[in-house]
């Protein structure tokens, strides 16, 4: 029997403040970070009966310990969602939350779900990147990939090699801009509206509250960045200043069929248009957003000129600059990461995809003249992911 596909909307997204790995959340469980996000979504939307949620998809890159045990299900139970609502875990490394969104959104479009919660978590203090992994030795021994593919910072250095025009000076300038834009966004109360306050505990310091991201350094200057060491290669170009940090944090968002959202009185912040994932050489992981974006644009029947807002994850400055150069965007284009990005805010791996969506939804709200926007990120082991969204507030009046 033929099925009619339904439009899917992003209702709302929230996140914890992002902490430095093992710092403010050192004695907080990863699953509890997700629980805070799920509870906050339900608190903000009392018009949604919890039993109308059809599934809960939560991503984590390291699915063990407090990020294991099918975290989508356990987080749903801990959040107080009815036991009749199932949940599952998902992993696509840095695109975990993005994949949780596209997977559940596909189910909504198909008609299997009406409403879903999707998000991600990474507690890199409890689970350092690469902990307990056991790569098949044939991957390197048989030269399926270069050994540098397993070290994300090395892939960024490789990207600098591939595009020598992307100098360390350009990377540092972009990093300083990210820090400044985050500071401006905080001063304008842009970022705070999506944050969930988290109670923290320290055996030494006692109880506290996490109310803001820990990573930003608003006093960052290009001159100071130029003095930092290059840990991945002698005389390299990638530093702790022009790359995202190691972080702890969680995100979650509410998705619904557009008609169901209207029925329940749920707002529609964005409408899903198309998405795509693409593979690239693992040792050049950072170029992943380029083919993923080209693929998504083709599926949507759009061109890059139709996109009026860009949220690209700043895993490394060089990766963003490669995207900009390819699509002929200026690195300081006001449409690109207007509220800053992961270099300043942090990148808790699997959670970051929804953080990008939260920022895009805000940009749509501030710019009803913008019709289409995208969220995109590079993914470890040589992938990229892009989701194209439409602004429900779009008005052709005043649109350029």
Q: What is the DSSP track for 289-350? A: HHHHHHHHHHHHT--GGGEEEEEE--SBHHHHHHHHHHHT--TT-TTBSTT--HHHH---GG
**Active-site residue identified among 94, 126, 160, 253:** 94
253 is catalytic: no
Q: Under 8 Å CB-to-CB from 372, ≥6 apart: which residues?
A: 273, 300, 302, 306, 307, 308, 309, 388, 389, 390, 391
* Structural contact between residues 12 and 44, judged by C-beta atoms closer than 8 angstroms: yes
**What is the C-alpha R_g of the chain?**
20
Q: Under 8 Å CB-to-CB from 184, ≥6 apart: which residues?
A: 339, 340
Question: Measured between alpha carbons, how far is 139 from 180 in angstroms, rounded to an integer?
Answer: 41
Paired tokens of 332: 């300081």
96-110 and 352-366 are packed helices; what angle lies between their axes, rounded to 10 degrees? 70
**Active-site residue identified among 37, 253, 324, 378:** 378
CA distances from 396 to 290, 369, 399, 400 (A): 28, 6, 5, 8
Paired tokens of 362: 């805000």
* Structural contact between residues 177 and 336, judged by C-beta atoms closer than 8 angstroms: no
Q: Under 8 Å CB-to-CB from 224, ≥6 apart: which residues?
A: 241
Question: Measured between alpha carbons, how far is 88 from 120 in angstroms, rounded to an integer?
Answer: 11
**Active-site residue identified among 36, 127, 347, 367:** 347
How many residues are given for the chain? 400
* Structural contact between residues 99 and 387, judged by C-beta atoms closer than 8 angstroms: no
Question: Measured between alpha carbons, how far is 71 from 101 in angstroms, rounded to an integer?
Answer: 15
* Structural contact between residues 10 and 270, judged by C-beta atoms closer than 8 angstroms: yes
* Structural contact between residues 251 and 120, judged by C-beta atoms closer than 8 angstroms: yes
Between CA 310 and CA 226, with CA 382 as vertex, the angle to 5 degrees is: 65
Where are any strands of DSSP class E within 107-165?
115-123
378 is catalytic: yes
Pairing relationship of beta strands 247-257 and 270-279 according to DSSP bridges: unpaired
- Nearest Cα residue to 363 out of 216, 211, 197, 185: 185
Provide the annotated active-site residues.
94, 347, 378
């Amino acid at each position: 029997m033929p099925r009619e596909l339904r439009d899917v909307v992003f209702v709302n997204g929230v996140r914890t403040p992002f902490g430095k790995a093992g710092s403010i959340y050192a004695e907080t469980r990863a699953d509890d970070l997700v629980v805070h996000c799920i509870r906050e979504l339900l608190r903000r939307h009392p018009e949604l009966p919890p039993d109308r949620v059809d599934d809960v998809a939560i991503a984590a890159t390291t699915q063990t310990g407090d990020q294991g045990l099918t975290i989508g299900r356990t987080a749903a139970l801990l959040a107080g969602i009815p036991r009749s609502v199932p949940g599952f875990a998902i992993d696509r490394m840095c695109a975990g939350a993005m994949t949780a969104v596209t997977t559940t959104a596909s189910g909504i479009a198909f008609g299997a779900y009406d409403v879903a919660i999707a998000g991600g978590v990474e507690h890199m203090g409890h689970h350092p990147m690469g902990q307990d992994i056991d790569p098949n030795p044939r991957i390197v021994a048989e030269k399926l990939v270069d050994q540098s593919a397993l070290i994300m910072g090395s892939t960024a250095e490789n990207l600098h090699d591939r595009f020598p025009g992307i100098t360390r000076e350009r990377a540092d300038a972009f990093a300083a801009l990210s820090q400044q834009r985050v500071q401006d966004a905080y001063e304008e109360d842009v970022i705070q509206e999506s944050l969930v306050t988290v109670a923290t505990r320290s055996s030494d310091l006692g109880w506290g509250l996490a109310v803001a991201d820990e990573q930003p350094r608003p006093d960052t200057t290009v001159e100071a960045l130029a003095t930092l060491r290059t840990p991945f290669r002698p005389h390299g170009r990638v530093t702790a200043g022009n790359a995202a940090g190691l972080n702890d944090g969680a995100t979650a968002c509410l998705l619904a069929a557009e008609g169901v959202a209207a029925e329940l009185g749920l707002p529609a912040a964005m409408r899903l248009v198309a998405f795509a994932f693409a593979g690239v050489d693992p040792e050049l992981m950072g170029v992943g957003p380029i083919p993923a974006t080209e693929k998504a644009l083709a599926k949507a029947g759009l061109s890059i000129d139709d996109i009026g807002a860009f949220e690209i994850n700043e895993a490394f400055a060089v990766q963003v600059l490669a995207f900009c150069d390819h699509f002929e965007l200026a690195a300081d284009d006001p449409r690109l990461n207007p509220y800053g990005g992961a270099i300043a805010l942090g990148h808790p791996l699997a959670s970051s995809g929804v953080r990008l969506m939260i920022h895009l939804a805000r940009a749509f709200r501030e710019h009803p003249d913008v019709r289409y926007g995208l969220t995109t990120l590079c993914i470890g082991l040589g992938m990229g992911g892009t989701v194209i969204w439409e602004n429900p507030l779009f008005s052709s009046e005043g649109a350029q």
